[in-house]
């Protein structure tokens, strides 16, 4: 792409990542973190970066928030280059790192005041944006941030990342280690922020959160496995998928895996998911019956986790 093309892409997208690569260490001890990845996020989009620990999610976030220089490639945020125009980016993005990074020995209110002041604004000016979230911790506004519970820290960190009304919000694993109820509540908050027009780039190791995003990139070992809307990724799962369960799940799994029609089989909640090499399951089911293994079987609809597993295995 010529220079003009890059400029155009910058204008069109809230985040544009072009062939970004990054390694840590030097000489003999080089650990690659990102292998030349590219993707774009549209303005107002809720974009999910889905992958396990060590996939490169945090490295990418640090590059996009101008805290780390890429080895190769270019990237822009809100039209500004992450290397040359880093100061402009810092003024207009919000960033919530995976680790709690507020001042533990300032109170809730002091932390929020501090971040508002740094960005030349005030709590009053943007209160409507953080109101829903901040109201939940406001009764504790005089408590030290270090003395808050995990859930309250998360809400304060999100409030601080929002108080200057950023155009792009970066959230690095906001739901890791958080229980299922709090995770659901957090995603409700993100939907309300999206309605305010804020572009959100969020990372998570939880595959079931992919469905809450407009589009997702599946990332593993520094490479994008796939990028699309969650429903399109699921539509692309081309093989037939069965769900089987029985009284002895371990024996059932071993028997399924030994059959030639089976491309892959793995535990999936109360069932085993079975990916077939071909569309006809009668060979496998007959084989299980002949071997006296009790089971019930049904067709299964794949979800993002099934897709991730298949993509990971193709990559290997």
Instruction: State in angstroms the smallest separation of the CB of 123 from another protein.
Output: 23
If the CB atoms of residues 124 and 270 are measured against another protein, the closer one turns out to be 270
Does 292 help bind another protein (rule: CB under 8 A)?
A: no
Does 243 help bind another protein (rule: CB under 8 A)?
A: no
User: How would you label 262-301 residue by residue, b for 16+ Cβ within 10 Å and e otherwise?
Assistant: bebbeebeebbbbbbeeeebeebbebbeeeebebebeebe
Residues in region 258-287 near another protein by CB under 8 A: 266-270
- Residues in contact with another protein, total (CB under 8 A)? 32
Does 250 help bind another protein (rule: CB under 8 A)?
A: yes
Beta strands per DSSP E along the chain = 15-24, 31-41, 46-50, 72-77, 80-81, 93-96, 168-172, 199-204, 215-220, 223-228, 241-245, 262-268, 271-276, 296-299
If the CB atoms of residues 36 and 151 are measured against another protein, the closer one turns out to be 151
Does 25 help bind another protein (rule: CB under 8 A)?
A: no
Please give the angle made by the CA atoms of 106, 167 and 99, to the nearest 5 degrees. 40
If the CB atoms of residues 270 and 279 are measured against another protein, the closer one turns out to be 270
Does 295 help bind another protein (rule: CB under 8 A)?
A: no
User: How would you label 130-165 residue by residue, b for 16+ Cβ within 10 Å and e otherwise?
Assistant: beebbebbeebeeeebeebeebbbbbbbbbbbbbbb
Instruction: State in angstroms the smallest separation of the CB of 232 from another protein.
Output: 19
Residues in region 114-133 near another protein by CB under 8 A: none
Integer angstrom CA distances of residue 159 from 89, 211, 287, 312: 19, 24, 58, 36
Does 309 help bind another protein (rule: CB under 8 A)?
A: yes
Query: 36, 205, 211, 283: which one contacts another protein (CB under 8 A)?
Result: 205
Query: 84, 101, 104, 149: which one contacts another protein (CB under 8 A)?
Result: 149
Residues at the site binding another protein, with contacts judged by CB under 8 A: 51-55, 149-152, 176-182, 184, 205-207, 220, 250, 266-270, 305, 308-309, 312-313
């Amino acid at each position: 792409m010529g220079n003009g093309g890059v400029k155009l892409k910058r204008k069109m997208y809230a985040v544009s990542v072009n062939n970004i690569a990054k390694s840590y260490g030097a000489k003999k001890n080089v650990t690659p973190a990102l292998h030349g990845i590219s993707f774009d996020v549209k303005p107002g989009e809720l974009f999910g970066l889905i992958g396990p620990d060590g996939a490169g999610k945090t490295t990418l976030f640090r590059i996009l928030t101008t805290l780390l220089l890429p080895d190769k490639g270019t990237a822009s945020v809100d039209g500004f280059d992450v290397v040359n125009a880093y100061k402009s980016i810092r003024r207009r993005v919000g960033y919530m790192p995976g680790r709690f990074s507020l001042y533990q020995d300032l109170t809730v209110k002091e932390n929020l005041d501090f971040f508002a002041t740094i960005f030349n604004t005030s709590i009053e000016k943007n209160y409507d944006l953080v109101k829903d979230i901040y109201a939940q911790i406001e009764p504790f506004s005089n408590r030290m941030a270090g003395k808050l519970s995990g859930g309250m820290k998360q809400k304060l960190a999100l409030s601080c990342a929002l108080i200057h009304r950023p155009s792009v919000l970066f959230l690095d694993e906001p739901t890791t280690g958080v229980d299922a109820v709090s995770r659901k509540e957090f995603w409700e908050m993100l939907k309300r922020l999206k309605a305010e027009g804020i572009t959100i780039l969020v990372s998570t190791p939880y595959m079931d959160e992919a469905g809450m995003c407009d589009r997702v990139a599946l990332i593993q070992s520094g490479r994008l496995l796939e990028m699309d809307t969650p429903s399109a990724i699921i539509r692309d799962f081309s093989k037939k998928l069965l769900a089987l369960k029985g009284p002895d799940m371990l024996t059932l799994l071993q028997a399924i895996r030994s059959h030639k029609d089976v491309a892959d089989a793995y535990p999936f909640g109360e069932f085993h998911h079975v990916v077939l090499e071909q569309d006809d399951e009668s060979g496998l089911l007959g084989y299980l019956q002949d071997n006296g293994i009790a089971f019930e079987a049904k067709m299964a609809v794949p979800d993002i986790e099934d897709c991730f597993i298949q993509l990971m295995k193709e990559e290997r």
